[in-house]
Amino acid sequence: MILFRYIVKEIMVSMAAVSFTLLVIVMSSRFVKYLAEAASGDLAPGVVFAVMAFRIPSFLELVLPLGLFIGILLAYGRLYVESEMTVMSACGLSTSRLAAFTLVPSILVAVVVSYLSFYATPVGINKVQEIFQDVKNSNGLETLIAGRFRVEEKTGRVSYIEKLSSDHQTLENVFTAQISGDDASGELSVVYAERGRVEFDRDQYSQYLVLDKGYEYTGKPGSKAFRIVSFDSFGQLLKKPKIKENTYKKVEARSTVELIQSDRLEDKAALQWRISLVLLVPILSLIAQALSKTNHRQGRYVKMLPAFIIYIVYLVMLNSARDSIEKQTLPLDIGMWWVHGLFLALAIILLYGSSVFRYLRHRE
């Protein structure tokens, strides 16, 4: 029992450190992407952290298996390099018993991954989808900052507001400028208003900048032919997001129950993918145990490269099988199960192949 606790502790500590590092890297890259969207006005800054929070389960379901895989390689690699594994083997720790020890933390991780894959990730992605589909979170009042010019890349419109009310509902001293008509005409439309607000048309999935008590100046800069129009109320279309009403829900956002009840191949493939994320955890742990065997001359990192290659090939083959199911080029009954069977056989060969070979050789 002492030996079991020691090995499991080494695995879990290494896995926690690796998983935390990988999670920070993945979240940082995605956070930068969302910040860029917020800076360009495609996403309200106030929802960036909410989106990141809802995406954490989807990050973890991929990070944890890789973290466990690398954690076993590092933990067992250290034990082999420092000859601790040799001493344990001399005390009666066989390959099968070590595999049993290895499977205990891997099953715990598999349980966590199953919760993430079957429940937490679909709920999180569904929440993210709702945020992205909410017209208020795209190019609306949240993206306007008092005292700063804002340029829309697609339309070329320049916007400026002097003040924003404390409740973020009213704009004061609003200025907008935009090329009127085509670029060849060179006409510029400048609008100034004392107050403004953003209104949302949920039926059309559009948002408008409504200005009160102002003027519109239209003409070619440098000429005297300007048209001046005063208005009590003036509306400008800010953005019309590409959102379709009653669209089919993204498959990753669908609950596991919906996938089970669905007859669509896309949903069946997604269900097998969620199950596969759970199955690959114990299989990868056995492969990691086999590849971690080394000595102090080789070092603990000598098997890292082949281990990563095996891991990448495993995921690529699962993705390829999923695509084949969706394209009806692979029977659903075969699905992704053959990939797991192939890598389980590889794990068994790596673990016991040399022992079987030595046994057969001695029999001769």
d(CA 103, CA 110): 10
Q: How far is it, in rounded angstroms, from Cα 56 to Cα 63?
A: 10
**In the chain, what percentage of residues exceed pLDDT 90?**
31
Whole-number pLDDT of residue 24? 93
Residues 212 and 340 in one domain: no
**Same domain for 346 and 259:** yes
- For range 94-105, the mean pLDDT: 89
The helix/strand/coil state of 273 is: helix
Tokens of 163: 């003040």
Say which residue, 102 or 178, is predicted with more confidence: 102
Q: Are residues 131 and 257 in the same domain?
A: yes
3-state secondary structure at position 225: coil
Q: In terms of domains, do 48 and 67 share one? A: yes
More confident residue, 298 or 52: 52
Examine the domain organization and report whether 128 and 275 are in the same domain.
yes
In this predicted model, what pLDDT tens digit does every residue of 134-160 receive, in sequence order? 645 554 555 566 677 777 766 677 878
Task: Specify the range with the lowest mean pLDDT, choosing from 52-56, 222-226, 280-284.
Answer: 222-226
Residue 131 sits in the same domain as residue 222: no
Residues 274 and 304 in one domain: yes
pLDDT, average across residues 66-88: 87
Last residue of a domain, one of 215, 239, 263: 239
Is 289 a domain residue? yes
Does 189 map to a domain?
A: yes
Longest Cα–Cα distance in the chain: 105
16 and 128 in a single domain? The answer is yes
Residues 207 and 280 in one domain: no
Query: In the block, which residue shows the tokens 């596991």?
Result: 256
- Please report the pLDDT score of residue 191 as a whole number: 86
Domain residue limits at 130: 2-135+249-363
In a domain, 244, yes or no: no
Residues 255 and 213 in one domain: no
Mean pLDDT over the full length of the chain: 82
Of 221, 239, 257, which residue constitutes the final position of a domain? 239
Same-domain pairing of 21 and 128: yes
- What span, in angstroms and rounded, lies between the C-alpha atoms of 277 and 254? 17
Predicted pLDDT at 96? 86
Across the range 277-290, mean pLDDT stands at 93
Q: Which one of 183, 204, 239 terminates a domain?
A: 239
Cβ atoms within 10 Å, residue 219 = 17
Whether residues 81 and 174 fall in one domain: no
- Summarize pLDDT for 301-350 with one digit per residue, the tens: 777 888 889 999 999 999 999 999 988 888 888 889 999 999 999 999 98
Asked if 71 and 20 touch (Cβ cutoff 8 Å), the reply is no
Per-residue pLDDT, 287: 93
pLDDT for position 81: 84
The answer to whether residue 248 scores a pLDDT higher than 50 is no
Q: Is 359 a domain residue?
A: yes
Work out how many domains the chain is built from and give that number.
2
pLDDT on residue 71: 92
* Strand partners for 188: 179, 219
Evaluate whether 283 touches 343 at the Cβ level (below 8 Å).
Answer: yes
